[in-house]
């Protein structure tokens, strides 16, 4: 072993490489990877030596696993796909019940159809894969529902299973195999394995068990429900994720007395190379030892207990665990049951409330996984509870290197997000009511959106056809979303979920306690109205400019005709006109024209050059709109002093308006001085030079 570790390829630069790896690979991981290289070298040995070596590796690994997981007198089948062991075991059961199956084949099954039973809580697609690999019709698969009245909602209903087996036996079918769970894929619950074993013995069925809770069999204290798995006919283990071992095979332990049937089912092989699959696991188990394996499983169980104890202290968090004293999988979700405080309401959430809570819990799980990645939490969909957050350290802790401080960080982040979830749930109805009061906004009902909800700004123009109106609404809402995203606020604005049916919408994310819903809606309406008005001006500008060009062309043509009548025809002849203009110059007056975009007409340029008229026009301009000022550091849509003893909103706004007026006095005085200087300069223009300045302006 020492030589192997010293000669490990790439060992010297492993620390630098670990920084770029997605999965933590420790020394035991390097041993597993080394096993694949050694298997390739060993496969070229002399045949007899290869047979002896592979037989020893296979027998030692099988013996260690059977002792670790308390599975006496068992054999082992090593496979890459964790479903392959179940396929081989089922083929073994078929060979056992149908004696002439090896020669007659599937013709024997037509007389007595085999039936495979599995729990509704099993991993999706497992039964379909099994039937596909065995060539059985889907009618051979029977899904057993879970408990609905008593016990865990994730456990198989034993009484209903007994009835189904009895009915199939009476109808001439053959109950073949039962798939049970020692830790369901979703919630980590364990079926009543002892009662299921009794049913299998009664009806001569094969009992197969799989699940993450089988890892706890190596511990000193194990729950009786999991210990019953040691009496089953076969079990599938996945030591790779449990121990943090990359690229090691899954193992199916089974008991059967006839080695010929095991060989026919493919559980054993006479090829020495096939036995080398156990080499990576053999090296890793040797490196870890019994204490190392026990420590990793125990550490994962302690992490689950640590999280479960902390979740009990958090309000609005419900857990779904099978055994609070010894549960390696913790499933929890946010649920608002208490009465709402001031500032929000939950009226109208009876219908579709679960969909809203599922969306919030999905957001919660994604945020926790993103902010505390070493925790290994993920989102799981359960049939009864809905969307939940799952913490399964047995499957993730060894690979991620999860420690107690990671669980503490997870609990801290969860405590910070609970108020946000509660406020968002309360303000959703208030936001809907505010939006419905605005004629220019439409409320978008999307219960899968984790936030306040969605709105759409509707154009007020009714004289457009359907296509133009749709294009106008799309343009307005697109620009409105960009404007809202540029605001100084903590709110999140988006165009909605990826597969949202509604288009041209603006969705608003999670809310906090100090959110001013009325101000938020008013801001959306105000910005949308400004965008709509500016869009109308841009749309009308094309027509206005077109009419102005036509009018200007007519004015130019009229001016040319007047020039011709005034100067005469002779002056238009190139050579004659030059001679006449030299003897008798013509004083032609130039009349300037300006195009007014606002009114869409041609005006004379004479008022432009009158400084007094220009000053009058500046004075007649509309005063700028008042801008609501906020305290330094206060972001938009926040109620100042919400939930505290600070000053009220009215006094805050009035103080800011007074300060704004004081700061505005200085620029106003400067404007008066500039106007005065301009007027005085107008009086100092000498007579006769005014025409030249006007011509220069032209």
Do 343 and 642 meet the contact criterion of CB atoms below 8 Å apart? yes
Length of the chain: 698
Range list of H helices, 141-252? 158-170, 193-202, 224-227, 239-243
Mean pLDDT of 305-321: 90
The helix/strand/coil state of 77 is: strand
Task: Find where tokens 């709109």 sit.
Answer: 625
The 10s digit of each residue's pLDDT in 683-696 is 444 444 443 433 43
Residues ≥6 apart with Cβ < 8 Å to 406: 372, 374, 375
Q: CA dihedral defined by 147, 151, 155, 159, rounded to 10 degrees?
A: -50
Mean pLDDT of 559-579: 72
The 10s digit of each residue's pLDDT in 595-616 is 665 565 666 666 665 654 555 5
Residues ≥6 apart with Cβ < 8 Å to 180: 119, 156, 191, 193, 196, 207, 208, 209, 232
For 392-435, give the DSSP string: -HHHHHHHHT--HHHHHHHHHHHHHHHHHHHHHHHHHHHHHHHH
Does residue 676 carry a pLDDT above 90?
A: no
Mean pLDDT of 464-481: 83
| CA atoms of 15 and 24, how far apart (whole Å) | 11
Q: What percent of the chain has pLDDT over 90?
A: 46
Query: Bigger pLDDT: 25 or 493?
Result: 493
295-336+353-421 with 424-533: one CATH topology? Answer: yes
Q: What percent of the chain has pLDDT over 70?
A: 73
Burial of 681-693, coded b for 16+ CB within 10 Å and e otherwise, reads eeeeeeeeeeeee
Do 179 and 119 meet the contact criterion of CB atoms below 8 Å apart? yes
Strands 114-119 and 141-144: what pairing? Answer: parallel
The 10s digit of each residue's pLDDT in 433-446 is 999 999 889 999 88
**Structure tokens that stand for 100 in this block:** 């002439």
| CA atoms of 314 and 321, how far apart (whole Å) | 16
Of 36, 38, 27, the closest CA to residue 5 belongs to 27
**Structure tokens that stand for 308 in this block:** 């479960």
pTM flag (> 0.85): no
Beta bridge partners of 96: none
pLDDT score for 537? 65
To the question of domain 295-336+353-421 being in CATH 3.90.1150.170, the answer is: yes
Helix (H) or strand (E) holding 369: helix 353-371
Highest mean pLDDT among 88-92, 286-290, 480-484, 548-552: 88-92
**Structure tokens that stand for 129 in this block:** 């894969």
CATH topology of domain 424-533: 3.90.1150
pLDDT score for 16? 36
pLDDT score for 7? 35
The 10s digit of each residue's pLDDT in 170-223 is 999 999 999 999 999 988 999 999 999 999 999 999 999 999 999 999 998 888
Q: How far is CA 543 from CA 264, 546, 637, in A?
A: 86, 5, 40
| CA atoms of 676 and 671, how far apart (whole Å) | 9
Mean pLDDT of 271-293: 90
The 10s digit of each residue's pLDDT in 122-164 is 999 999 999 999 999 999 999 999 987 666 788 899 999 999 9
pLDDT score for 431? 93
Of 330, 409, 427, the closest CA to residue 367 belongs to 409
Mean pLDDT of 307-324: 86
Does residue 289 carry a pLDDT above 70?
A: yes
Does residue 2 carry a pLDDT above 70?
A: no
Confidence bin at 698 (pLDDT 50/70/90): very low
pLDDT score for 151? 66
Mean pLDDT of 578-590: 68
User: What is the widest separation between alpha-carbon atoms in the chain?
Assistant: 134
Of 124, 101, 123, 102, the closest CA to residue 114 belongs to 101
Of 673, 688, 676, 682, the closest CA to residue 609 belongs to 682
| CA atoms of 216 and 300, how far apart (whole Å) | 10
Highest mean pLDDT among 33-42, 351-360, 393-402: 393-402
Mean pLDDT of 53-69: 94
Q: How far is CA 230 from CA 100, 222, 296, in A?
A: 31, 12, 21
Task: Find where tokens 């439409």 sit.
Answer: 442
Residues ≥6 apart with Cβ < 8 Å to 411: 307, 310, 311, 314
Beta bridge partners of 631: none
pLDDT score for 579? 74
| Averaged confidence pLDDT in the chain | 79
Beta bridge partners of 382: 386
**Structure tokens that stand for 239 in this block:** 């030591």
Q: How far is CA 257 from CA 74, 75, 261, 505, in A?
A: 10, 10, 9, 67
Does residue 348 carry a pLDDT above 50?
A: no
Do 147 and 170 meet the contact criterion of CB atoms below 8 Å apart? no
Q: Quote the distance between the C-alpha of residue 116 and its chain's center.
A: 37
Do 563 and 570 meet the contact criterion of CB atoms below 8 Å apart? no
Helices 47-68, 27-42: crossing angle, 10 deg rounding? 150
Mean pLDDT of 342-350: 41
Q: How many CB atoms lie within 10 A of CB 8?
A: 16
To the question of domain 27-289 being in CATH 2.160.20.10, the answer is: no
Mean pLDDT of 47-56: 91
**Structure tokens that stand for 518 in this block:** 């009325």
Structural domain spans, the chain:
27-289, 295-336+353-421, 424-533
């Amino acid at each position: 072993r020492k030589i192997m570790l010293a000669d490990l390829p790439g060992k010297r630069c492993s620390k630098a490489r670990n920084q770029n790896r997605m999965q933590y690979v420790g020394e035991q991981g390097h041993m597993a990877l080394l096993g694949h290289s050694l298997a390739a070298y060993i496969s070229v040995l002399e045949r007899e030596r290869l047979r002896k070596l592979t037989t020893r590796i296979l027998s030692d690994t099988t013996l260690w696993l059977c002792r670790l997981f308390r599975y006496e007198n068992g054999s082992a089948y090593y496979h890459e796909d964790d479903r392959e062991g179940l396929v081989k075991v089922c083929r073994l059961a078929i060979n056992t019940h149908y004696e002439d199956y090896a020669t007659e084949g599937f013709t024997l099954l037509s007389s007595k159809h085999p039936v495979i039973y599995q729990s509704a809580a099993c991993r999706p697609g497992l039964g379909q894969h099994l039937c596909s690999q065995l060539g059985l019709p889907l009618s051979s698969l029977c899904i057993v529902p879970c408990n609905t009245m008593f016990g865990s909602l994730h456990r198989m209903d034993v009484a209903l299973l007994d009835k189904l087996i009895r009915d199939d036996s009476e109808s001439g079918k053959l109950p073949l195999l039962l798939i049970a769970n020692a830790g369901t894929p979703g919630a980590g619950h364990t079926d009543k394995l002892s009662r299921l074993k009794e049913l299998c013995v009664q009806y001569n069925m094969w009992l197969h068990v799989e699940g993450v809770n089988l890892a706890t069999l190596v511990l000193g204290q194990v729950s009786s429900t999991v210990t019953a798995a040691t009496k089953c006919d076969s079990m599938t283990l996945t030591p790779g994720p449990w121990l943090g071992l990359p690229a090691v095979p899954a193992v199916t332990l089974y008991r059967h007395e006839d080695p010929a049937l095991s060989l026919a089912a493919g559980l054993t092989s006479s090829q020495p190379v096939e036995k080398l699959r156990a080499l990576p696991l053999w090296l890793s188990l040797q490196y870890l030892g019994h204490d190392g394996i026990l420590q990793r499983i125990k550490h994962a169980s302690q992490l689950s207990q640590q999280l479960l104890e902390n979740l009990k202290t958090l309000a609005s968090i419900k857990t779904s665990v099978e055994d609070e004293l010894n549960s390696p999988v913790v499933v929890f979700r946010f649920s608002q049951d208490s009465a709402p405080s001031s500032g929000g309401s939950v009226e109208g959430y009876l219908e579709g409330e679960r969909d809203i809570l599922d969306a919030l819990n999905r957001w919660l799980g994604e945020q926790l996984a993103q902010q505390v990645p070493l925790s290994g939490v993920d989102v799981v969909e359960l049939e009864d509870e809905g969307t939940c957050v799952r913490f399964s350290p047995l499957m993730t802790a060894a690979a991620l290197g999860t420690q107690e401080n990671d669980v503490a960080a997870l609990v801290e982040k969860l405590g910070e997000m609970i108020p946000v979830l509660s406020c968002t749930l309360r303000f959703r109805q208030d936001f809907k009511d505010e939006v419905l009061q605005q004629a220019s906004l439409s409320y978008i009902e999307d219960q899968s959106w984790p936030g306040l909800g969605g709105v759409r700004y509707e154009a007020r123009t009714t004289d457009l056809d359907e296509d133009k109106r749709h294009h106008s609404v799309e343009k307005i809402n697109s620009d409105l979303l960009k404007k809202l995203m540029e605001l100084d606020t903590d709110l999140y604005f988006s165009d909605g979920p990826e597969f949202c049916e509604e288009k041209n919408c603006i969705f608003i994310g999670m809310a906090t306690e100090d959110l001013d819903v009325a101000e938020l809606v008013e801001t959306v309406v105000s910005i949308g109205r400004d965008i709509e008005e500016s869009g109308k001006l841009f749309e009308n500008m094309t027509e206005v400019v077109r009419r102005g060009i036509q009018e200007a062309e007519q004015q130019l043509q009229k001016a040319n005709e007047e020039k011709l009548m005034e100067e005469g025809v002779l002056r238009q002849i190139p050579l004659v006109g030059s001679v006449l203009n030299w003897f008798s110059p013509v004083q032609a007056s130039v009349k300037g024209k300006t195009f007014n975009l606002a009114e869409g007409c041609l005006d004379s340029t004479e008022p432009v050059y009158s400084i007094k008229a220009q000053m009058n026009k500046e004075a007649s301009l509309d005063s700028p709109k008042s801008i609501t000022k906020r305290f330094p550091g206060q972001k938009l849509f926040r109620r100042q002093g919400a939930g505290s003893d600070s000053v009220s909103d009215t006094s805050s706004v009035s103080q800011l308006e007074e300060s704004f007026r004081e700061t505005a006095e200085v620029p106003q005085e400067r404007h008066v001085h500039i106007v005065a200087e301009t007027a005085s300069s107008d009086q100092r223009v000498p007579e006769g030079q005014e025409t030249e300045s006007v011509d220069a302006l032209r």
